[in-house]
């Protein structure tokens, strides 16, 4: 059974059949995919698991999994097999986690899906097949019923309830949750037909976020790591102590036993009363467990999947190149043509040889790295307090340290290295000709320098302040008025033109280009992403910019003026991108990595022509070198 996870996403398309779609991008790590999974079911010789952002994966043998491009973006929180159909429920959570949009979808094969019903002001969390009727329930004042999974009717509950999970024991439905919205009394709800419900209160607040399963006529509830509750009629409950401390939060029933799981333990019981608890330290961020015909399937964060026939022997079905636990991100990628290096939060350094054999590296002495480049003969990375260098991406040496600085970006033009950032409330520019000896200059731009670039004749340093800097030599800098309230997050040069990406106040994502750092041209985009752009790279044939937002999120241009947009098709919100014309990689939340399956070269994308000049006024104020 699965857990409730609030999901905030964009509205979905109108109701219609949605077929599996092959995308231009595929998962590299983790595999088979990296989104949170919330539920699983088996039927018609197929096992499926569903989750965040429209994730559907399917397997015919329980071991090899296929990503299904189901064609929708809302998250699926539960799925069940019955009447020859998979029925999945989910949707969106509304404003301040109030009931939002509930959706019901069906599929006979787990691949082609059809939206059957949608309802505003309802968030569907659980669906049950009684043998003659589907019952879908969640957050709201209604329950939805169907005898065939195709046509649905609604039944009023009288008031808003918060249902986490539900189960059927052959004669009764029992749902567990809270009376009312967030923070209400932990309660359970009992019905014989799904239409008429009785409400009762749990005595212990721990069961407000509970999971329930039924084996034969017996219901068992677990939640919050507290003891189990057992009932044969759904009305009278008996506490069943686990006998030891545990974190068991989710429960499922197999053919002869109950299995309950948490992040670090698993519990087995044949009657619901007597439990054997074992440590399971190799599983973290568990979201639930289901019985899928021949084995239990446990699933969780970042695509985690493990199976077991009995709760004793476990097989990991998902694979990952490194531990994804935590909220770390790769802030930027760089490549020397054979090795890819990524740096990010939590002192993350990853390397991939030709896009394979990814290895996570790091140092407890480094708190965060913000940017990395290949400088012709070495990798250079900057972050909080330091600059580090590596010849191979594996072994790193510190070449600059200042505890008061936080460096955002670094670029090399062949003879000079320039790094920018913030130091003690002022903007800082660092320059070096040898990578060992650094000269620092401080400026007052009332903001933070986020990125630096080279036009072929002039350095450009820009960020989120009221001005930006240019310099012909990295020594003498001139201050200019900022680009119409634009925050620039990254820049890339193709040898002729410098392209800068970021966010324009009240207008979303913006892309500008320049040949001299003085006159800028704003690109007309086929839809500006609201969240703005995070990263841009030059592949040798195309500029590629990524926006951390729902698909479509990848923008492609040959000249920096006219851009096409494409969907990653994986649900990943890209943070960084790097590659060449034949091999392109992007990263997302939690060290997710995806790869483009087709080369950019030779593909003519649809374009939206037109551009306009964004005038820039220079203050003509020359700033003399000011060593720190």
User: Which residues are CB-contacts of 429 (< 8 A; sequence separation ≥ 6)?
Assistant: 418, 419, 420, 440, 441, 443, 449, 452, 461, 469, 474, 477
* Mean pLDDT along residues 76-94: 92
> What is 329-404's CATH number?
2.40.10
* Mean pLDDT along residues 182-195: 88
Residues of the chain within CATH 2.120.10.80 domain(s) are 405-623
Which of 400, 403, 397 shows the shortest CA–CA distance to 430? 400
Is 80 exceeded by the pLDDT of residue 23? no
Name the least confident of 2-16, 242-256, 373-387, 607-621: 2-16
Q: Contact, 503 vs 484, CB < 8 A? A: no
Q: What whole-number distance in Å separates Cα of residue 161 and Cα of residue 179?
A: 5
> Can you spell out the DSSP letters for 217-262?
TEEEEE-TT--EEEESSSSS-EEE--SS-----EEEE-SS-EEEE-
Q: Contact, 180 vs 161, CB < 8 A? A: yes
Is 70 exceeded by the pLDDT of residue 228? yes
> What is 30-316's CATH number?
2.130.10.10
Per the listing, tokens 């307090």 go with 385
pLDDT at 209: 79
Is 80 exceeded by the pLDDT of residue 88? yes
* Model confidence pLDDT, tens digit, residues 585-611: 998 877 788 999 888 854 444 444 444
Tokens (6 digits) for 350: 């990853």
pLDDT at 18: 31
**Residue 90: C-alpha distances to residues 75, 103, 118, 377 (Å):** 6, 5, 10, 51
Is 70 exceeded by the pLDDT of residue 327? no
* Mean pLDDT along residues 383-391: 94
As a whole number of angstroms, the longest Cα–Cα distance in the chain is 84
pLDDT at 208: 62
* Mean pLDDT along residues 464-477: 92
Q: What whole-number distance in Å separates Cα of residue 119 and Cα of residue 49?
A: 23
pLDDT at 602: 47
> Which residue would you say has higher pLDDT here, 320 or 69?
69
Is 80 exceeded by the pLDDT of residue 405? yes
* Mean pLDDT along residues 81-109: 84
Name the least confident of 302-306, 478-482, 486-490: 478-482
- How far from chain centre, in Å, is Cα 69? 16
- Starting at the edge strand found earlier in the chain, the sheet holding 134-146 runs 123-129, 134-146, 153-168, 173-179, 185-191, 198-201
* Model confidence pLDDT, tens digit, residues 143-178: 999 999 999 999 988 787 889 999 999 999 999 998
Report the SS3 class of residue 207. Answer: helix
pLDDT at 352: 72
pLDDT above 90 coverage of the chain, percent: 58
Quick one: pLDDT band at residue 465, thresholds 50, 70, 90? confident
* Mean pLDDT along residues 270-295: 88
Residues of the chain within CATH 2.40.10 domain(s) are 329-404
Is 50 exceeded by the pLDDT of residue 525? yes
Quick one: pLDDT band at residue 60, thresholds 50, 70, 90? very high
What's the mean per-residue pLDDT of the chain? 85
Q: What whole-number distance in Å separates Cα of residue 337 and Cα of residue 320?
A: 23
> Which residue would you say has higher pLDDT here, 118 or 569?
118
Is 90 exceeded by the pLDDT of residue 134? yes
* Mean pLDDT along residues 556-585: 88
* Mean pLDDT along residues 270-282: 87
Quick one: pLDDT band at residue 363, thresholds 50, 70, 90? low
- How far from chain centre, in Å, is Cα 356? 21
Name the least confident of 80-84, 120-124, 277-281: 277-281
pLDDT above 70 coverage of the chain, percent: 85
Quick one: pLDDT band at residue 346, thresholds 50, 70, 90? low
Quick one: pLDDT band at residue 131, thresholds 50, 70, 90? very high
* Fold adopted by 405-623: Neuraminidase (2.120.10)
- Does residue 621 have a cis bond before it (omega within 30 degrees)? no
Name the least confident of 215-229, 253-267, 398-412: 215-229
**Residue 611: C-alpha distances to residues 145, 526, 565 (Å):** 53, 12, 16
- 293-318: b (≥16 Cβ within 10 Å) or e: bebbbbbbbbbbbbbbeebeebeebb
Per the listing, tokens 């009764």 go with 172
Is 60 exceeded by the pLDDT of residue 325? no
Quick one: pLDDT band at residue 8, thresholds 50, 70, 90? very low
User: Which residues are CB-contacts of 367 (< 8 A; sequence separation ≥ 6)?
Assistant: 346, 347, 383, 384, 385
Is 90 exceeded by the pLDDT of residue 531? no
Q: What whole-number distance in Å separates Cα of residue 505 and Cα of residue 331?
A: 22
Name the least confident of 205-214, 295-304, 350-359: 350-359
Name the least confident of 148-162, 193-207, 446-460: 193-207
Which of 392, 347, 352, 395 shows the shortest CA–CA distance to 369? 347
> Can you spell out the DSSP letters for 452-515?
EEE-SS-EEEEESSSEEEEESSSSSEEEEE-SSSEEEEEEEE-SS-EEEEEEETTTEEEEEEES
Phi-psi category of residue 590: left, alpha or beta, with phi > 0 → left and psi -120 to 50 → alpha:
left
Quick one: pLDDT band at residue 247, thresholds 50, 70, 90? confident
Degrees, nearest 5: CA angle 617-620-623? 130
pLDDT at 553: 85
The alpha-helical segments, DSSP class H, found in 321-452 are none
Is 60 exceeded by the pLDDT of residue 236? yes
* Mean pLDDT along residues 183-189: 85
Name the least confident of 425-439, 576-590, 608-622: 608-622
Q: Contact, 473 vs 496, CB < 8 A? A: no
Highest mean pLDDT among 21-25, 92-96, 130-134, 327-331: 130-134
């Amino acid at each position: 059974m699965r857990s409730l996870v609030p999901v905030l996403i964009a509205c979905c398309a109108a109701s219609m059949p949605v077929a599996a779609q092959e995308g231009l991008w595929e998962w590299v790590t983790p595999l088979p995919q990296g989104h949170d999974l919330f539920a699983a079911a088996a039927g018609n010789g197929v096992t499926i698991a569903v989750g965040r952002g429209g994730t559907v994966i399917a397997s015919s043998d329980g071991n090899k999994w296929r990503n299904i491009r189901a064609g929708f973006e809302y998250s699926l929180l539960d799925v069940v097999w019955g009447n020859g159909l998979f029925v999945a429920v989910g949707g969106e959570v509304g404003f301040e986690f109030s009931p939002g949009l509930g959706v019901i979808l069906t599929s006979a094969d787990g691949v082609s899906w059809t939206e059957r019903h949608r309802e505003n002001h309802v968030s569907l969390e659980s669906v049950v097949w009684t043998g003659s009727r589907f019952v879908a329930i969640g957050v709201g004042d209604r329950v939805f019923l169907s005898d065939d999974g195709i046509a649905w009717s609604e039944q009023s509950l009288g008031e808003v309830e918060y249902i986490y999970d539900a189960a059927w024991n052959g004669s009764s439905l029992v749902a567990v949750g809270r009376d009312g919205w967030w923070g209400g009394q932990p309660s359970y709800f009992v019905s014989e037909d799904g239409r008429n419900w009785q409400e009762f209160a749990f005595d212990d607040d721990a069961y407000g976020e509970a999971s329930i399963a039924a084996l034969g006529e017996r219901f068992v509830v677990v939640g919050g790591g507290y003891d189990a509750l057992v009932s044969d009629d759904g009305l009278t409950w008996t506490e069943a102590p686990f006998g030891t401390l545990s974190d068991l939060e989710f429960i499922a029933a197999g053919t002869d036993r109950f299995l309950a799981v948490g992040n670090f333990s698993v519990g087995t019981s044949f009657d619901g009363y007597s439990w054997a608890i074992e440590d399971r330290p190799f599983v973290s961020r568990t979201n639930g467990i289901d019985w899928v015909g021949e084995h239990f399937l446990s699933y969780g964060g970042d695509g985690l999947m493990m199976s077991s026939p009995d709760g004793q022997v476990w097989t990991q079905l998902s694979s990952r190149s490194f531990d994804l636990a935590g909220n770390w991100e790769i802030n930027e990628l760089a490549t020397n043509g054979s090795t890819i290096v990524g740096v990010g939060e939590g002192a993350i350094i990853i390397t991939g040889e030709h896009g394979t054999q990814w290895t996570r590296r790091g140092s407890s002495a480094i708190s965060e790295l913000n940017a990395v480049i290949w400088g012709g003969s070495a990798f250079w990375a900057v972050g909080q307090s330091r600059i580090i260098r590596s010849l191979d991406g594996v072994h790193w040496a510190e070449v600059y340290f200042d505890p008061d600085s936080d460096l955002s970006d670094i670029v090399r033009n062949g003879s000079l290295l320039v790094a920018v950032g913030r130091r003690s409330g002022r903007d800082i520019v660092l320059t070096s000709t040898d990578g060992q000896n650094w000269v620092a200059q401080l400026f007052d731009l009332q903001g933070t320098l986020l990125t630096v670039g080279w036009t072929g004749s002039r350095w450009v340093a820009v960020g989120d302040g009221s001005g930006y800097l240019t310099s012909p030599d990295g020594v003498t800098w001139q201050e200019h008025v900022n680009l119409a309230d634009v925050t620039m997050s990254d820049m890339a040069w193709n040898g002729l033109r410098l392209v800068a990406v970021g966010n324009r106040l009240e207008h979303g994502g913006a892309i500008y280009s320049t040949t001299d750092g003085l006159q800028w041209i704003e690109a007309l985009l086929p839809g500006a992403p609201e969240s703005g752009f995070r990263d841009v790279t030059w592949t040798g044939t195309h500029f590629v910019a990524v926006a951390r937002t729902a698909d479509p999120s990848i923008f492609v241009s040959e000249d920096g003026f006219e851009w096409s947009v494409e969907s990653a098709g994986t649900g990943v919100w890209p943070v960084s991108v790097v590659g060449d014309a034949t091999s392109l990689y992007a990263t997302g939340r939690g060290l997710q990595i995806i790869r483009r399956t087709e080369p950019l070269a030779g593909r003519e994308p649809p374009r939206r022509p037109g551009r306009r000049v964004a005038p820039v006024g220079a203050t003509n104020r020359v700033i003399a070198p000011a060593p720190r």
